[in-house]
Structure 1
Amino acid sequence: MIDFEAVLGSIYDIVHVTDAEGRTLYCSPKYGEYFGIDPKEMIGKPIEEFYRLGYFAPTITMRVIRDKKKVQTIQTTLRNRRLFVEGTPIWDQDGNLSGVVNTSIDITEQEQLQQELNEVKYIGTLFQSEMTKEKGRQKGNTCLIYRSQSMQQVAVMAEKLAQVDSSMILLGESGVGKGVLAKYIHECSPRVDKPFVHINCGAIPETLLESELFGYEKGAFTGADKDGKAGLIEKANRGTLFLDEIGEMPLALQVKLLTVLQDKTITPVGSSVSREIDVKLITATNKNLRKMVREGKFREDLYYRIHVVPLEIPPLRERREEIPVLIHYFLNVFSQKYCLERKLSDVCYPILEEYDWPGNVRELENVVERLVVTSHDSLITPAQIPRYIHNQQSSAHNGVKVDRLMQMQDAMDEVERQLVQRAFEQHKTTTRIAEALGISQPSASRKVRKWVFTGE
Structure 2
Amino acid sequence: MSEKLRLLELEIEGIINESGENIIITDSEGIILRAVKNSEEMYGIASEELVGSSVKELEQKKIFSPSVTLSVLQQKAPVTFMQKTATGKIIMTRGVPIFNEEKKITRVISFSHDMTEIEELKGKYEKLQQKMEQYETEIEQLRERERLPSEVFINSKAMQTVWSLVNKVAKSEATVVLQGESGVGKTVFAKALHNGSHRKGKPMIEVNCGAIPESLFESEMFGYEAGAFTGAASRGKMGLIELADQGTLFLDEVGELPLSIQVKLLKVLQEKKVTRMGSTKSRTVNFRLVAATNRDLQAMVKTRTFRDDLFYRLNVVPISIPALRERKEDIHQLTEAFLQKFNEKYDTDKTMHPSALKAFWQYDWPGNVRELENLIERLAVTLENKVILPDHLPFTEKAEEKSIEKFETHGTSLQESLEHVERSWLLQAYRECKSTYEMAEYLGISQPTVVRRLKKYNIDSKTNQ
Both proteins in one fold, TM over 0.5:
yes
The answer to whether 1:227 aligns with 2:231 is no
Q: CA RMSD in A?
A: 2.1
Of all paired residues, the percent bearing the same amino acid is: 48
Give 3-state SS (helix, strand or coil) of 1:390's partner.
coil
Q: Residue 239 of structure 1 corresponds to which residue in structure 2?
A: 247
Selected match of 2:174 from 166, 186, 191: 166
CA positional deviation for 1:134: 6.5
The aligned amino acid for 1:223 is: G
Selected match of 1:153 from 161, 183, 187: 161
Selected match of 2:273 from 265, 279, 299: 265
Rate the CA distance shift 1:332–1:264 in 2: closer, same or farther, 3 A.
same
The answer to whether 1:288 aligns with 2:288 is no
Q: Residue 396 of structure 2 corresponds to which residue in structure 1?
A: 390
1:33-432 equivalences under 5 Å are: 135-136=143-144, 143-386=151-394, 389-391=395-397
The aligned amino acid for 2:158 is: S
Count of matched residue pairs: 262
CA positional deviation for 1:138: 7.4
Q: Equivalents in 2 of 1:137, 1:224: separation in Å?
A: 47
Give 3-state SS (helix, strand or coil) of 2:354's partner.
coil
8 Å contact kept, 1:231–1:268: yes
Q: Equivalents in 1 of 2:249, 2:148: separation in Å?
A: 16
8 Å contact kept, 1:142–1:180: no
Unaligned runs of 5+ in 1: 1-130, 395-456
CA positional deviation for 1:140: 9.2
Structure 1 residues 171-196: Cα deviation after superposition (integer angstroms, max 9, x where no partner) = 11111111111011111111110111
CA positional deviation for 1:347: 1.4
Q: Equivalents in 2 of 1:393, 1:227: separation in Å?
A: 65
8 Å contact kept, 2:391–2:397: no
Q: Normalising by the residue count of structure 2, what TM-score does the alignment of the two structures yield?
A: 0.54
CA positional deviation for 1:139: 7.3
Rate the CA distance shift 1:194–1:142 in 2: closer, same or farther, 3 A.
farther
Greater radius of gyration (CA): 2
Q: Equivalents in 1 of 2:178, 2:337: separation in Å?
A: 24
CA positional deviation for 1:143: 3.5
Q: Equivalents in 2 of 1:183, 1:133: separation in Å?
A: 19
Give 3-state SS (helix, strand or coil) of 2:342's partner.
helix
8 Å contact kept, 1:239–1:280: yes
8 Å contact kept, 1:351–1:393: no
Rate the CA distance shift 1:393–1:153 in 2: closer, same or farther, 3 A.
farther
Q: Equivalents in 2 of 1:298, 1:392: separation in Å?
A: 46
The aligned amino acid for 1:255 is: V
Q: Equivalents in 2 of 1:139, 1:323: separation in Å?
A: 20
CA positional deviation for 1:148: 0.4
CA positional deviation for 1:136: 3.4
Q: Equivalents in 1 of 2:372, 2:236: separation in Å?
A: 42
Give 3-state SS (helix, strand or coil) of 1:225's partner.
coil
Rate the CA distance shift 1:294–1:364 in 2: closer, same or farther, 3 A.
same
Q: Normalising by the residue count of structure 1, what TM-score does the alignment of the two structures yield?
A: 0.55
Structure 1 residues 364-419: Cα deviation after superposition (integer angstroms, max 9, x where no partner) = 11111111111113222222111xx115999xxxxxxxxxxxxxxxxxxxxxxxxx
Give 3-state SS (helix, strand or coil) of 2:385's partner.
coil
Rate the CA distance shift 1:391–1:293 in 2: closer, same or farther, 3 A.
farther
Deviates more, 1:142-151 or 1:303-312: 142-151
Give 3-state SS (helix, strand or coil) of 1:310's partner.
strand
Rate the CA distance shift 1:322–1:307 in 2: closer, same or farther, 3 A.
same
